[in-house]
Amino acid sequence: MATRTRGRPRSFDRETALEQATRAFWEHGYEATSIADLTAAMGIGAPSLYAAFGDKRTLFEEVVAYYIEHYGSFIRRAMAEEPTARSGVHRVLREAAVEYARADLPTGCLVVSAVTNYQESAHEVAEGLRAVRHGNVRAVEARVAADVAAGVLPASVDAGALARYTGAVIQGMSQQARDGASSAELAAVAELAMGAWPAELTGPA
Amino acid sequence: MATRTRGRPRSFDRETALEQATRAFWEHGYEATSIADLTAAMGIGAPSLYAAFGDKRTLFEEVVAYYIEHYGSFIRRAMAEEPTARSGVHRVLREAAVEYARADLPTGCLVVSAVTNYQESAHEVAEGLRAVRHGNVRAVEARVAADVAAGVLPASVDAGALARYTGAVIQGMSQQARDGASSAELAAVAELAMGAWPAELTGPA
DNA sequence: ACAATTTCCTAGCGGTCGTTACAGAAAGAA
DNA sequence: TTCTTTCTGTAACGACCGCTAGGAAATTGT
């Protein structure tokens, strides 16, 4: 590995540049972040950007993957490590309250807010993020349905509605963060939101 | 009134044009709606638009007022007509489920979604909408605090947190609507969301 | 040293942005 | 009619958009 290639070596670290691009898109969204904004944030010229990342849309898709991997991983981890849908979602909301209002990073969630308004040319980019959000809701729905089937949650629970409610709360927390809400305020929202969740059946001892 | 003025009469109805502009901004947001989009939607030329409404930002501010008056009035009405904070918010959420997913209008709420991402030049426009959202949350907070003071809601209720939670749910419902959720799906979210609200104290009858 | 290869910088492409100057058209006032 | 006033359509302004051609610079292979 790391075989030296021929030709002039790249003068910047690709992953560092990707990280800077992620923060730019995260803060201002897809359309409002221009190539000039990106080259300034990444510290490289436009031709270098296009050579290393392709066009703006391709770069953004890579940014989304990078964001999910590096900044959205707490969701996957919480759902994987917690035993039930309820405890998993509870932890996701608690951690989102912290992550969405960190002082050293852009606020809110890139997947939620980066492509809310767009022109026709960005339609497919918007659909991509929509698909990610939809997939997250469906994943929660599957976890809820599994708990219902296992008798952990009452049979009266509507898994789809509960999952969509959870998605709406996360999107709302993201926008509250972008509107300036603190981590403490978001944590209070998260705890309140869990009040809508049905209690788990402790089982027949 | 209706005194005929001198000069060539306007060839379009100002309020109709404002309605069309409202729908354009509602659907695509502030930045993604170009003057060309507006003139096409309004059926007038650019100079007529500028003469009748001022620049893009001024037009948008008038659109926001028009939207609140004509499409956001259900919120004010519900809070004014319902006796308690809880019943008022419950009705707002129920009606929002219908209003945010109407087939004959753009989905979601203009105040929530029209200026989520923006460039520096639109900073003040974004602040304007933020102020509207903040004012709505504060209004709910005041209603909750009043009910706590009147003994309708338990003293343990955090009025600020409950109001912010309600705002987050509305913003989440708006974005769910923009992601394609139906009125029925939003109504289910609304009912679930009310599960987080404390029950009212029926009083020592 | 010299060729081959890859990246970097400058400069500019065509297109769209918000906005406006200008001249012609349509009304009331004299 | 003629003047004044206001609106309308054409056409264009400078600025920025995403993107790229072309040549200089920096490295490896021979």
Sequence-separated (6 or more) residues with CB below 8 Å from residue A46: A35, A36, A39
Q: Is the pLDDT of residue A75 over 70?
A: yes
* pLDDT tens by residue, B160-177: 999 999 999 999 999 999
d(CA A111, CA A129): 6
The mean pLDDT value of chain A amounts to 96
pLDDT of residue A2: 47
Mutate to test the interface with A, among B37, B112, B116 (most CBs of A within 10 A): B116
pLDDT of residue A202: 81
Separation of B48 CA and C28 C1' (Å): 21
State how far residue A3 is from chain B, nearest Cα, in angstroms.
Answer: 42
Chain A residues closer than 8 Å to B167 by CB: 172, 176
Q: Identify the CA nearest to B132 among candidates B76, B193, B202.
A: B76
State how far residue A26 is from chain B, nearest Cα, in angstroms.
Answer: 10
Instruction: Determine the average pLDDT of the residues in A97-120.
Output: 98
pLDDT band of A115, cuts 50, 70, 90:
very high
Strand D nucleotides where any atom sits below 7 Å of a protein CB = 4-12, 16-22, 25-29
Q: Are B187 and B94 in contact (CB under 8 A)?
A: yes
State how far residue B183 is from chain A, nearest Cα, in angstroms.
Answer: 12
Q: Identify the CA nearest to B87 among candidates B158, B161, B166, B171.
A: B166
Cα B10 to Cα A14, B7, B14, B22, B165, distances in angstroms: 57, 9, 9, 20, 47
A24 alpha carbon, distance to own chain's centre: 15
Instruction: Determine the average pLDDT of the residues in A82-86.
Output: 98
User: What tokens were used for B114?
Assistant: 């029209």
pTM, full prediction: 0.95
pLDDT of residue B1: 41
Strand C nucleotides where any atom sits below 7 Å of a protein CB = 4-12, 16-22, 24-29
Q: Are A129 and A174 in contact (CB under 8 A)?
A: no
What does the pLDDT profile of chain B (205 residues) look like in tens digits? 446 788 999 999 999 999 999 999 999 999 999 999 999 999 999 999 999 999 999 999 999 999 999 999 999 999 999 999 999 999 999 999 999 999 999 999 999 999 999 999 999 999 999 999 999 999 999 999 999 999 999 999 999 999 999 999 999 999 999 999 999 999 999 999 999 999 999 865 4
pLDDT of residue A123: 97
The answer to whether strand C lies under 7 Å from the CB of residue B28 is no
* B175 with A188: Cβ contact below 8 A: no
In the 185-204 stretch of chain B, whose C-beta falls under 7 Å of nucleic acid strand D?
A: none
Residue B4 dihedral angles phi and psi, to the nearest 5° = -55, 130
Q: Are B144 and B171 in contact (CB under 8 A)?
A: no
pLDDT of residue A1: 40
d(CA A10, CA A127): 33
Which DSSP string do the residues of B175-191 spell out, in sequence order?
HHHHTT--HHHHHHHHH
The residue assigned the tokens 């003293």 is: B155
